Amino acid sequence: MLSLSGLMTEKKGFSALVMGNHALARAMAEAGTAVVTSYPGSPTPEIADALLAPEEKARPCHFEFAVNEKVALEIAAGASLNGHPSAVFFKSVGLNVAADSLVQLALMELLGGMVVVLGDDPGANSSQNEQDNRWFARLAYIPVFEPASPAEIYVMYKEAAALARARRAPVFLRLTTHVCHARETVKFGALPPRPDWTPRFDAANGPYVPITTTVFPLKQRALEKLEAWAVYGETSALNAAHNAPAAGKKRLGAIAAGLPALCLLETLRAAAAPVDLLKLGLTYPLPGKLIADFLRAHDEVYILEELDRVMETEIKALAFDGGLGCRIHSRRGHAELMGEMTPERARASLAAAWPALFPAPEKRSFPAPAPRAPQMCPGCGHRSAFHAIKNALPPGAITVGDIGCHSLGFLPPYKMGEVLFSMGHSVSTASGLALNNASRKVVAFVGDSTFFHAGMPGLVNAASRDSDLTLVLLDNGTTAMTGHQPRPGNGEIGERLALFGILEKLGVKFLRECDAYDQPKLADHLKEAMARKGFAVIIARHPCMLKFMRDRRRNSPGLKTQPVHVAQGSCARHYICAAEFACPSFIRHADGSVTVNTELCIGDGSCMQTCPSQAIGRKK
């Protein structure tokens, strides 16, 4: 099996079974992409794993994690302005952070071309919403390629990168969670020579400053480029028809792209249904003539897509404007606008339109799986911090959460963080909740990575106005939730930056820090902060124990931990360990006893201080 390093450095062509994200990384290398940037976010982090796998001198391109998505996009755009083919990738909601600069890209002449890879998340598997980023393409005049499989990711990225460079334009490559993580055998090509780093920026290729006198000529050029993309789509092999072998009384068809198209194909073949499929790879701008011809050739057509009615709305408008008599079917009801597409959902959608072709499947009942709530890892410093803070908060206190592992504090039993919008929002939102609020204390949480990502502006605002709130900065030393990517200031990349010193320089006057495992000290700091009026920050620091233990085992093969145990004779069955501290290592049995799952316990001992009976300890 080829290693990730081999995947990225093998000079000759080969075939390999790979996941979609890894196929994309190889495509970046083969396309001659010189600069790739990112801010980590699921479902895209594995792209970075592949790019970083070879030693730095052997990497086919320059790759870097930026402090947030906006910075990542701007670095990639700057590289492209200099003539270097570039790409940037992030998760669905990351596009919101990058949008301020994204909407200008189509106005610019990007000499190297630029591919913006989106990891959209139907089903909200790892996001706070399931926004449909195809709308951003319409807003920003950027074409959209939508692959349905790892092999298509590879082909479409190379096509998108080549066309983006030839047209000096940005391009969206829109992936979704299952496309990113699907596996397929992909036939790869050879690697090109190393990138040419000759700087080619020339202001004469602009203008690059969109102000009143230049905006309209720039917009005109962007619209002309978009029209050229539509012409390309009419004959592109990425848009292809799959004709059914048999015909029914009516000529039936379907239009889809990406994963929904594969779900449709599977459904149609399983039912041997006489329905043709127009599978689109370039979904914006839509190939109007190709779609109109498909509609004319069919009596009825079903439009299937995930999430919003984007293609449906545009295709219906195209049919109306063209006076086409084809009946167009589409999804019905709000439930159909949510969640990931599956073959079962595709079959149910088609059955609503053509019940004779898709009879109801035989009903089968399966036992419901046991509920499994997401939870923090054994030994997580956030659990220790939340346990201490919950016990120290006065009645009626308002807690504001943020994005990160600590978002799980919202769940029982901690119930910490009753409001959550986006990365870095917590300080600003808490500042609003604290206005003219003398009766209820406001406590906000933010992680160290999120602090650098988007938390500093709100913090500066709160410090300058001395907003009456307490911020607990949960520092675990990494970007833990998405796979332990380095964060600014932890010394893995660049200079080590001490959070305490940064906060002092940002004007925070009340500042305390302690280990998150030191629950009494953390509780005392919180009470001291809430006893005064004004802005206060407490740094609760403890390394991510998942990363810490992995690193220890990697550096010390055969390392054994010493799990804690519950002394049954001393246990008074208060159940604080299992019900309030809630480490998943504790098992509460039907007879009322509590034991420790030694496969889960890492032996950190943070639980020992929570037991009123002091029944938790280590075996001598």
**pLDDT in the model for residue 597:** 93
Is the separation of the CB atoms in 123 and 130 below 8 Å?
yes
CA distance 278 to 283: 12
Query: Are 4-235 and 560-620 in the same CATH fold?
Result: no
- Give the HSE-up count for residue 501: Cα atoms under 13 Å, Cβ half-sphere: 4
CA 520 to chain centre: 36
Looking at mean pLDDT, say which of 17-26, 267-276, 477-486, 561-570 comes out highest. 17-26
Give the model confidence (pLDDT) of 74-95 as tens digits.
999 999 999 999 999 999 999 9
DSSP bridge partners of 185? 17
CA distance 562 to 440: 43
Name the more confident of 107 and 547.
Answer: 107
Give the model confidence (pLDDT) of 99-124 as tens digits.
999 999 999 999 999 999 999 988 87
Is the separation of the CB atoms in 73 and 136 below 8 Å?
no
Confidence label for 350 from pLDDT (cuts 50, 70 and 90): very high
Q: pTM value?
A: 0.89
Fold of 4-235: Rossmann fold (3.40.50)
Fold of 560-620: Alpha-Beta Plaits (3.30.70)
**pLDDT in the model for residue 561:** 84
Does CATH number 3.40.50.2020 belong to domain 240-353?
Answer: no
Confidence label for 516 from pLDDT (cuts 50, 70 and 90): very high
Give the model confidence (pLDDT) of 147-191 as tens digits.
999 999 999 999 999 999 999 999 999 999 999 999 999 999 999
Each domain of the chain, given as residue ranges in start order, spans: 4-235, 240-353, 381-550, 560-620
Residue 493 has pLDDT above 70, yes or no: no
Q: Which of 129, 93, 117, 115 is nearest to 21 (CA)?
A: 117
Find the DSSP H helices in 393-475. Answer: 426-434, 448-450, 456-465
- For the chain, the average pLDDT equals 92
CA distance 429 to 515: 26
Taking residue 231's Cβ as centre, other Cβ atoms within 10 Å add up to 13
Residue 314 has pLDDT above 80, yes or no: yes
**pLDDT in the model for residue 128:** 82
**pLDDT in the model for residue 487:** 74
**pLDDT in the model for residue 534:** 95
Give the model confidence (pLDDT) of 44-60 as tens digits.
999 999 999 999 899 99
Residue 619 has pLDDT above 80, yes or no: no
Query: Which of 181-190, 248-257, 493-502 shows the lowest per-residue confidence on average (mean pLDDT)?
Result: 493-502
Give the model confidence (pLDDT) of 277-291 as tens digits.
999 999 999 999 999
Relative to beta strand 586-588, strand 594-596 is antiparallel
Q: Which of 517, 496, 508, 433 is nearest to 465 (CA)?
A: 508
Confidence label for 495 from pLDDT (cuts 50, 70 and 90): low
Residue 28 has pLDDT above 70, yes or no: yes
Q: Exposed, middle or buried by CB within 10 Å (0-12, 13-18, 19+), for 272? A: exposed
**pLDDT in the model for residue 366:** 82
CATH class of residue range 381-550:
alpha beta
